[in-house]
Amino acid sequence: MLGNFSYCNPTKLYFGKDAIDSLSEELAKYGDNIAFLYGGGSIKKNGVYDAITKVLRAQNKNVIEISGVMPNPTLDKLYEGIEACRAHKTDFLLAAGGGSVCDYAKMISVSMHCEEDPWDKYFVRFEEPDCKLVPVGCVLTMVGTGSEMNSSAVITNTKEKLKMGHVFVDENIMPKFSILNPEYTFTLPHYQMVSGIYDIFSHICEQYFSGEDDNTTDYICEGLMRSLIHASRIANKDSQDYEARSNIMWTATWALNTLLKKGKDTDWMVHSLGQAAGAVTDAAHGMTLSAVSMPYYKYILEDGLHKFARFAKTVWDVNGEGKTEKEIASEGLDAMEDWMNELGLVMNLSELGATWDMIDDMVKGTRVRGSYRILTADEIRKIFETSMTYTS
């Protein structure tokens, strides 16, 4: 293990069917002015809204609700939230939803007491906050991003056609607590469920397909991937299987709570390509990743050949006997692709509404250059072009 690092993750997790019982005790630690943030209304249909408001009422909190936080939250929506929270003098931000709502809460947290424009400060100059932070808590309803236990936030600037993420260094930006009840995810449509599953898988791949040193993290990645593949196959057939859904939820959290990146290089190329595609299509995050993954991984296969062969054998049980490393590695990607098709993931960008005239903006919006292979802008364009019409 070559890297030097420090590790601290202060988010307290409550996991399981009774996890919401801890909300009361957690909220009692903070001030009375609570901003309750949620999305387009799924929480009103599945009982999550009622469960939360019951606790807020019992504690007599002074609550404002900020609803309509859209998937891939926009800068305009952020400005609206900051203004509302300033007027309300919010003491605590309670997010109920998926990555979009959790990220949104973190962005208000770092912006409410900051005089500068949050886009310029955090997503152009990538500065750390130097103002008071508003604490965040999360009730998770959609599994995938890991936002419930990390310090990242992603925003879409529709005018600039850019979707940018900031991985904040300050761990105080991580949620103070997150409530993880796998049953809350049962109402997710299949499309969102598998989109989230692929997001998890991609988070692990981004941290796995990089570096050459023998590293404990890679072994953890392989275990998480095997568990996810197993549970996803069960959930794909029966979305109400608690055991599978709970394993998926737990894997998602560990896939992106900063553990896996410790002490090793990371890649994040699939996310960079996917985010650039997301900026112009507003498609579901996980599907933007699935649509570019095969073209990208096939393109860099030879650059990371040894790791791709290891992936084939340890994650997909490819039998390497009598085969070249390249054959083994390719079989691994084939097995991964079969699994992606089995789940019903979107495998090309056209299906997400991307058109050829969007490619210039996508190339411009791709800010990362890779790990095993440092890509040129022309190579990035080529990968987008292949992703437009890719078929298995």
Binding-site ranges for ligand NZQ (CB under 6 A)? 39-43, 46, 71-72, 97-101, 103, 141-142, 144-147, 150, 152-154, 165, 184-185, 187-188, 192, 196, 199, 256, 271, 285
Of 139 and 309, which CB lies nearer to ligand NZQ in the complex structure?
139
Residue 333 Cβ vs ligand NZQ, minimum distance, rounded to whole Å: 21
Least separation in angstroms between CB 278 and ligand NZQ: 6
Altogether, the residues listed in the chain come to a count of: 392
Residue 332: contacted member of Zn ion, ligand NZQ, none (CB under 5 to 8 Å, by partner type): none
199/267 with CB nearer Zn ion: 199
Near Zn ion by CB under 5 A, which window of 5-13, 101-109, 156-164, 199-207? 199-207
| CA 59 – CA 92 distance, rounded (Å) | 14
In the list ligand NZQ, Zn ion, none, the entry touching 42 (Cβ below 5 to 8 angstroms by class) is ligand NZQ
Residue number with the smallest Cβ distance to ligand NZQ? 39
Axis-axis angle for helices 216-237, 325-343 (nearest 10): 40
CB nearer to ligand NZQ: pick between 100 and 266: 100
Choose the contact partner of 196 out of ligand NZQ, Zn ion, none; CB within 5 to 8 A by kind: ligand NZQ
Using N-to-C axis directions, what is the helix angle for 285-300 and 325-343, rounded to 10°? Answer: 160
Least Å distance, CB 327 to ligand NZQ, is: 32
Q: With respect to ligand NZQ, which residue has the nearer C-beta, 205 or 301?
A: 205
In this chain, which of 26, 103, 148, 199 binds Zn ion, going by CB under 5 A? 199
Return the residue matching tokens 């609550």.
63
Region from 102-110, 121-129, 162-170, 194-202 binding Zn ion, contact rule CB under 5 A: 194-202
**CA 45 to CA 118: how far, in whole Å?**
33
Nearer to ligand NZQ, 96 or 318 (CB): 96
Amino acid letter at 30? Y
CB of 206 to Zn ion, least distance (A): 8
148 binds, among Zn ion, ligand NZQ, none (CB under 5 to 8 A by kind): none
Please say which residue, 202 or 330, places its beta carbon nearer to ligand NZQ. Answer: 202
**Count of positions on this chain that bind Zn ion (CB under 5 A):** 1
Closer residue to ligand NZQ, CB minimum distance, 209 or 316? 209
Quote the least distance from Cβ 31 to Zn ion, whole Å. Answer: 32
* 296-310 CB burial, b ≥16 within 10 A, e <16: bbbbbbeebbebbbb
Residue 182 contacts which entry, Zn ion, ligand NZQ, none (Cβ below 5-8 A, type-dependent): none
CB of 138 to ligand NZQ, least distance (A): 10
Whole-number Å distance between alpha carbons of 378 and 130: 38
Q: Which is nearer to Zn ion, 165 or 320 (CB)?
A: 165
Closer CB to ligand NZQ, 118 or 144, in the complex: 144
Alpha-carbon span 358 to 2, nearest angstrom: 40
Name the binder of 211 from ligand NZQ, Zn ion, none, CB < 5-8 A by kind: none
- Residue 290 touches which member of ligand NZQ, Zn ion, none, C-beta under 5-8 Å by kind: none
Q: Which does 246 bind (CB under 5 to 8 A by kind): ligand NZQ, Zn ion, none?
A: none
List contacts with Zn ion (CB under 5 A).
Answer: 199
